Structure formats: C-alpha cells, structure tokens
C-alpha cells in the first residue's frame, strides 16, 4: 500500500471513528467500513464490508449511486444450501474461493455474459459479506488459475465422493474452432458431425442427487474410452448407472463395479417375447416387468403402459398417413413401451428401474449446462480456461441440485422448479440505509414456498 493511501486511511479513521479497510482493485484503492455480523447458521461472526468510496490523493470520492437495495431472498436461499461446497472451496481454493463461488452463483441465477457478472453479483445481498473479485478484466485470469489447478479440483471431487454408493455417468460435447484449445479435437457425436469438439464427463451421486465429479476430455475420446478414463481416476466401489451410449457387452466384462446399463432396442440379447412376471406403479404409470439370466448377467425388461399406448398411437397415425403399413405395426409393436437393462445385480426389477429413472432426472440439467457452455465458448481461450469454466459450471450445478433436493423432499417437483423457486425468493429485498437494514414486504407466494421448503429465511408475521 502506498504511503499516501495510508495517510488518507488514518485521516478517515480519525474522522469517522469506525473500523475501516482498504481494498485495491484494477490499480485503484477503495475504502470500506469493515465490521462483523453474527451468523446463526455458523454460530459465529462473519465479515461484512460496506463500500464507502474511492480513495484519491485528495481524499474520498463517495459513490452517491452505490446500491442500497439488494436481492435478499434468492441470495440467502443459495447461501443457506451452499455451506458444504463453500467449506470445500475454502479448503482447496483458499485464495480465490469467493470469486469462484460468486461466478457460480450468478451462473445459477440467470445466464449472464461474462462482462456483466460483476454487475449481477453486486445486486445480491451476499455480495456485502463475500468479497469476490469478478470484474470483466479479472475473470480470464480466474478461469485460467482455477483450470490449471487440477490437483485441487480432484481433491474436492474426492471429498464429495467419499461415501457415494450409486453414481450416474454422463457424457456430452461442445464444439470449438479455437486454435488455442488443444483438447478440441475432431470426434463423432450424437448428431453425427465430425468437427472440433470437447467432451465433458459428468458423474452424479444418485443417493444425494448432486454432481460429484467433472472431467473435460479430448474430443476424439469416445464414450466407452471416457468411462474407462474416469473409472481409472476415481476410487469407487458402488453401482454405476449408465446411459445407452455405453451399451456394450464387452464393456460390461471390463467393469469391476456393479452396474446398470440400459440397452438399445435393437440389441440382440433382448428377448421381447419374454413373459412379464410382475408389475408395479411408478408416478401413476403402470409398469410390467420381468428378468432372465444371460450368461453371467441379468437382463431386466420393463413395459411402461402409458409409453406403450403413446408409441402405438404414433405408429397408427403413420399408417393413416400411408407412411407405415399394418405389417410394419405388427412387427414393431412388440417393442412398444419397453426398456431393457443389462446388469450384474440380482435384485427386484422395481429397484433396478428406480435407479435407471433416477439418472434421467439429472440429464435435463446437464443439457442446460451444455447450452450455457455453447453460448460462452467465445470467452474460452485455452485448455486451462476451459477447465476453469467447467469447474465453475460444476459448482453452479452443485448448488442447483442442493436446492432441487429441498424441492424434492417437499414433494413439489411437479409444481416447482429450481428456477421458479429462485424467482419467488428474489421478490424479497433488503434495504440498507446507513447502519439500518430492513426487509421488504414478503409476498404470500414467497412466504408459502419458504415454509414448504423449510428454509425459514423470511421473518414470520405476527399472529402467523
């Protein structure tokens, strides 16, 4: 700190008689009122910094337009479910955890261009007590620094996976034509395009409904190879739940873990004439099921009665349009509504089916993350920046699922999405004026969701 800054700081301390601190950002010095507030969740104090103004050699230039109204509800909801991931970020990224967390939070709330992240972050109440540096000219360095620290990322992933018993593995691709990105190699994808791409391997814990591992892979690495690479890097002895992209009998022979592997409908080991032996209900849908031994494995066959009806109806409409024949229907109808799963687990078919359906719930959010990566790829200049971006997206997705778990526990998944919850909570503001803070009126819908999710963020009304 330069001597003239120290002189201004001492003079301001003498005049204001309050704790002050100086922060340097982008070559400028800024003055903050530094204090603490009691955090009932942590049972201890947490630091709060109130911005006063920019320090010049002539004194303090106050920011008359500094924000005094903050988004409070969504900010506190996110903070309340983030305690575990914040603890790990502090442990493994002690110098940059605030900025990683802030960027992840902004990405969760809404798609925000990189250049606007600081502006969005400053609107949140938590920006008053989490001192993040997310101005546009610092983000590239943050991404590169985070992405290059692969060791810390893996340590964090290992902490998340230490008691996992059921993992779902998923793979997707984004495309990049940047010459600086070495991992963007040409490779095949589900759209049968052969252009430069980067593969993203994501692993989810199906018991806790949260992501626990992420790895970026060269675009030329195919699905089965990517699974092998990830299994080599994680210490896991539970059940692997895969998607149809990994449907391979030879792969099954290589896996040392218990596994559940959905099969493509044209797989020759599926006996579509097998007699159903039992049934159960899944979310008001009737499911017929059976199983049989195939070599050293088990094949489970399920028929969703609603899906069967929908597929039959679609096929009949094709017949009506002269696009299919009745003979085609008679041949195809034996597979309508049916799902086949290969596994080395001998269990009740219903339990196998539930594990399979669990992984379907995670795919939609992974697709959403992929879309955001597609939109931001122009900001990713090299391999390290990509790894950093993926890691921040991982943290964002982890927080997303922390909120989803609350919604699921409350039985509201059919009525309330994570984005809906954040929107309802965002309607509650905290107004800061001098040393006083007040909470805005809490809308009835926001109060109701707060009660249903058990978050207890908003003060209770008298008589309620």
Alpha-carbon separation of residue 303 from 261, 277, 285, 330, 336 (angstroms): 16, 12, 10, 17, 8
0.75 surpassed by pTM: no
Condensed to tens digits (0 to 9), the pLDDT of residues 60-81 reads 877 654 547 899 999 999 999 9
Cα distances from 155 to residues 91, 162, 287, in angstroms, run 10, 11, 41
d(CA 434, CA 50): 10
* pLDDT at residue 186, as a whole number: 39
- Convert the pLDDT of each residue in 162-218 to its tens digit: 888 888 887 765 444 344 434 444 344 444 343 346 777 788 898 888 889 988 776
The pLDDT assigned to 155 comes to 94
Q: Which residues contact 69 (CB under 8 A, 6 or more apart)?
A: 429, 430, 431, 432
The answer to whether residues 398 and 85 touch, using CB atoms and an 8 Å cutoff, is yes
**Contact between 358 and 282 (Cβ < 8 Å):** no
Q: Which residue has the tokens 């040392």?
A: 256
pLDDT of residue 41: 55
Q: What is the pLDDT along the chain (464 residues), one digit of tens a residue?
A: 788 888 888 888 888 888 888 887 767 888 888 877 665 555 667 667 777 888 888 788 776 545 478 999 999 999 999 999 999 999 999 999 999 999 999 999 987 888 889 999 999 999 999 989 998 888 888 999 999 999 999 999 999 988 888 888 877 654 443 444 344 443 444 443 433 467 777 888 988 888 899 887 764 445 566 677 777 777 777 888 887 766 677 777 777 788 999 999 999 999 999 999 999 999 889 999 999 999 999 999 999 999 999 999 999 999 999 999 999 999 999 999 999 999 999 999 999 999 898 887 666 656 655 565 555 555 566 788 888 988 998 999 999 999 999 998 999 988 898 999 999 999 999 988 766 788 988 999 999 999 999 999 998 754 44
Give me the pLDDT at residue 394, please. 92
**pLDDT of res. 232:** 75
pLDDT of residue 191: 44
- Tell me if 361 sits within 8 A of 205, measured CB to CB: no
Q: Provide the CB-side half-sphere exposure for 216 (13 A, CA).
A: 28
């Amino acid at each position: 700190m330069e001597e003239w800054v120290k002189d201004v700081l001492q003079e301001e301390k003498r005049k204001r008689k309050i704790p002050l601190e100086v922060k340097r950002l982008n070559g400028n010095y800024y003055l903050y009122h530094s204090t603490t507030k009691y955090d009932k969740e942590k049972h201890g104090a947490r630091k709060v910094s109130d911005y006063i103004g920019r320090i010049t050699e002539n004194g303090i230039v106050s920011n008359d337009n500094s924000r005094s109204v903050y988004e409070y509800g969504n900010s506190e909801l996110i903070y309340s479910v983030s305690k575990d991931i914040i603890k790990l970020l502090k442990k493994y990224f002690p110098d940059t955890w605030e900025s990683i967390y802030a960027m992840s939070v902004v990405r969760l709330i809404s798609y925000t261009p990189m250049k606007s992240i600081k502006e969005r972050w400053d609107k949140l109440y938590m920006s008053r007590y989490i001192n993040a540096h997310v101005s546009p000219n610092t983000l590239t360095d943050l991404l590169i620094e985070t992405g290059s620290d692969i060791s810390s990322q893996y340590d964090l992933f290992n902490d998340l996976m230490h008691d996992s018993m059921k993992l779902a593995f998923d793979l997707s691709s984004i495309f990049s034509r940047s010459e600086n990105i070495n991992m963007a190699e040409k490779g095949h994808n589900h759209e049968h395009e052969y252009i430069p791409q980067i593969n993203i391997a994501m692993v989810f814990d199906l018991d806790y409904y949260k992501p626990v591992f992420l790895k970026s892979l060269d675009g030329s690495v195919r699905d089965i190879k990517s699974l092998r690479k990830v299994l080599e890097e994680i210490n896991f002895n539970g059940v692997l739940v895969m998607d149809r992209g990994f449907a391979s009998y030879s792969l099954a022979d290589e896996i040392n873990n218990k596994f559940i592997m959905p099969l493509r409908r044209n797989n020759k080991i599926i006996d579509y004439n097998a007699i159903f032996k039992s049934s159960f209900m899944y979310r008001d849908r009737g499911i017929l099921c059976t199983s049989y031994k195939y070599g050293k494995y088990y094949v489970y066959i399920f028929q969703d009665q609603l899906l069967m009806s929908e597929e039959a109806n679609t096929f009949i409409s094709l017949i009506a349009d002269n696009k299919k024949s009745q003979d085609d229907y008679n041949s195809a109808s034996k597979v309508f509504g049916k799902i086949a799963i290969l596994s080395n687990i001998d269990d009740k078919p219903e339990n196998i089916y539930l594990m399979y359906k669990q992984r379907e719930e995670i795919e939609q959010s992974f697709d959403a993350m992929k879309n955001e990566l597609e939109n931001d790829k122009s900001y990713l200049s090299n391999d390290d920046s990509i790894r950093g971006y993926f890691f921040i997206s991982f943290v964002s997705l982890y927080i997303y699922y922390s909120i989803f778990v609350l919604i699921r526990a409350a039985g509201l998944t059919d009525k309330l999405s994570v984005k809906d919850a954040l929107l309802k909570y965002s309607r509650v503001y905290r107004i800061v004026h001098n040393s006083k803070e007040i909470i805005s009126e809490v809308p009835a819908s926001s109060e109701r969701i707060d009660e249903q999710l058990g978050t207890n963020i908003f003060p209770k009304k008298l008589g309620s």
